[in-house]
Every structure is written in C-alpha cells, then in structure tokens.
Amino acid sequence: MKIFSAANPPQAHIVCELLRANGIACEVRGEGIFGLQGEVPFGEASEPHVWLFDIEQAGVAKQLVAQFEQPHSEPSWQCIECGEVNEGQFAMCWQCGSAAEA
Ligand SMILES: [Zn+2]
C-alpha cells in the first residue's frame, strides 16, 4: 500500500530510509516518471511515493510518517553563542551558525 506521497523524490527517499531504519520493508516508487512532468498528467499516479510491503506494519509506519511531517513539534532551543531562539527542527543556529546542544 502507499504509505506516503512525497513532494519530490529526495523526500520520498528520506521517508523510505526512516521507515527502513525502523525495520519496515518499503521502497520508493513513482520517481522514474517524475522527470516527465508536463508530458504525463500530474496526479496521484505520477507522484513519487513510498510503498509499504507489509500492511501489518502500516500503523507503525503511519506514526513515523506523521512524525516526519510535523517537525515543528520539536521544542525550540536557545543558542548558547548569541542567545537567538531557534525552532526545533534546525540543528544549527540560523543567526550565527553554532550547532545546537545535543
Ligand atoms: Zn547563535
């Protein structure tokens, strides 16, 4: 079953790798025709997407996809170098480039 529709092929691969890292069998489909946009009608069939092999893993897979789609739920953090407050999905301070504290 299709577990995730991506906006572009790299995004599909990120989600696919995330799921695989959690023991879920999946693959990226649909990216082969991504470059033909304009020649084929754009829609569900031509979007790159992540295909889930084992439907019994759909519940876990959907949770992981939901986490991926809501990066803003991560807590914001304050830079120790310049004091700037950064959103949680940024690993580096957008102001001065310092890395976030682990
Ligand atoms: Zn900073």
Q: How do residues 18-76 score in pLDDT, each as one tens digit?
A: 999 999 999 999 886 555 555 555 555 568 999 999 999 999 999 999 988 875 567 88
Q: Which residue has the tokens 């439907």?
A: 55
User: Are 60 and 21 spatial neighbours (Cβ–Cβ below 8 Å)?
Assistant: no
What pLDDT is recorded for position 88?
Answer: 82
* Gap from CA of 75 to ligand 1 centroid (Å): 16
What's this model's pTM, rounded to 2 decimal places?
A: 0.59
Q: How far is the CA of 84 from the centre of ligand 1 (A)?
A: 5
Q: Exposed/middle/buried for 99, CB within 10 Å: 0-12, 13-18, 19+?
A: exposed
Residues having C-beta closer than 5 Å to ion ligand 1: 79, 81-82, 84, 93, 95-96, 98
